[in-house]
Structure 1
Amino acid sequence: MRGRTRVTRPGWRWRRNPLRRRTDVVETWLALLFAVLLCASPLFGWWADRSVGRALRHEVATEHSERSLVTASLARSKSSGAKTHPAEQLRWTGPDGTSHTASVSSDVEVVQQGRIKIWTDHEGRLVPPPLDSATAATHAVLAGVAAGSAAVGLLVISRQLLMWRLMLRRLDSWEREWARVGQDWGRAGAGG
């Protein structure tokens, strides 16, 4: 039947076709690979979240086992020469039973009735507070989001660069074809 139109089917680039070029096949494979990797990028973010979360939970447990919360008493105020916050002289007994004193800025801790809570190591030295579980979980989620976003960004940039190179190759191929065939098809008397 001559008047019958042909219905195009999905996957036309995969079949043999005289108009199909090698760049068309490469472009199709790149699109398929990009779609698969794009669907997998949330898995990469999830993996990063789980890995960082596991490491941070271990860190939280380690810090809480190595640090102790002790009560310090305010020994006396002394002027540190700074205009904003004077230094406070604190006295406390460490977990090992030894007595310690140190000068800290008065804005570091909230003093309540002459006593404050401070974190010390096993030897009684002042240390920063340990990481808490909520902060660790937040950091893990942020690491997962950052890893997933970075993976998507890298995929998009890589695809754009590959498509740019593919387009340059396609244009070079067309230029070679024009040079081979010649451009006399539009001139009068050229037989075209």
Structure 2
Amino acid sequence: MKGRTTGTVRGWRWRRNPLRRRTDVVETWLALFFAVALCATPLLGWWADRSVGRVLSHEVATEHAERTLVTATLARDKASGSKTRPTEQLRWTGPDGSTRTATVSSDIEVLQQGRIKVWTDRAGRLAPPPLDSATAGTHAVLAGVAAGSAAAGLLVLSRQLLMWRLMLRRLESWAREWARVGQDWGRAGAGG
């Protein structure tokens, strides 16, 4: 076989090397593990996106089923003599046909001729707008990106900490070897 020497296989040059230390083997396996785990982080992000997306799409459907968009009118009843923000009286018809009113801040957006669209719950009370599909999709994507990024960051940080610890062990091993060999290493007739 061309390019191969006796006893070596491509990628296994350290297998029978007398200079190979246990820390070298651990470092190799850690590199392989973290490379595979880092490649899996986009899958974690995708899974988080899909999971959050399912929950939020259910929430969108539920909120749209429980709330109704109705037209309300403003009756200009400003608070007299008050230095606080003026208020407006808002009137609308509830699902049961009864007239409802609420006091709102005067900075509410008027769409046409004093009429505005407001969301109400099943009982006819004012409710916040339901979550829309685009916002839910954006939140799902952001959750996926955050989960994938956090996992990748945690992996990189873990690898750095493990490599730091491994390097300390390697340096301690080298210090023990140098202490064992002594300062006469390499001199002729010194036994080293």
User: Matched residue pairs, number?
Assistant: 186
Q: SS state of the match for residue 78, structure 1? A: coil
Distance 2:107 2:66 in 1: 25
Distance 2:171 2:18 in 1: 18
| Alignment of 1:12 onto 2:2 | no
Distance 1:122 1:21 in 2: 72
Counterpart in 2 of 1:139? 139
Unaligned runs of 5+ in 2: none
Amino acid at match of 2:176: R
Distance 1:123 1:51 in 2: 32
- Cα distance change of structure 1 residues 79 and 12 upon mapping to structure 2, 3 Å threshold: farther
Report the CA distance between 1:87 and its aligned residue: 1.4
Report the CA distance between 1:77 and its aligned residue: 3.1
Counterpart in 1 of 2:119? 119
Report the CA distance between 1:184 and its aligned residue: 1.9
Amino acid at match of 2:13: W
Q: SS state of the match for residue 97, structure 2? A: coil
Amino acid at match of 1:115: R
- Cα distance change of structure 1 residues 30 and 82 upon mapping to structure 2, 3 Å threshold: farther
Counterpart in 2 of 1:26? 26
Counterpart in 2 of 1:176? 176
Unaligned runs of 5+ in 1: none
- Structure 1 length normalisation: TM-score? 0.88
Report the CA distance between 1:142 and its aligned residue: 0.8
Q: SS state of the match for residue 77, structure 2? A: strand
Distance 2:101 2:37 in 1: 58
Q: SS state of the match for residue 76, structure 2? A: strand
- Structure 2 length normalisation: TM-score? 0.88
Counterpart in 1 of 2:155? 155
Distance 1:78 1:23 in 2: 78
- Cα distance change of structure 1 residues 111 and 86 upon mapping to structure 2, 3 Å threshold: farther
Report the CA distance between 1:189 and its aligned residue: 7.5
Amino acid at match of 1:96: D
| Alignment of 1:35 onto 2:25 | no
Amino acid at match of 1:179: A
Over the matched positions of the two proteins, sequence identity in percent amounts to 79
CA RMSD of aligned residues (A): 2.2
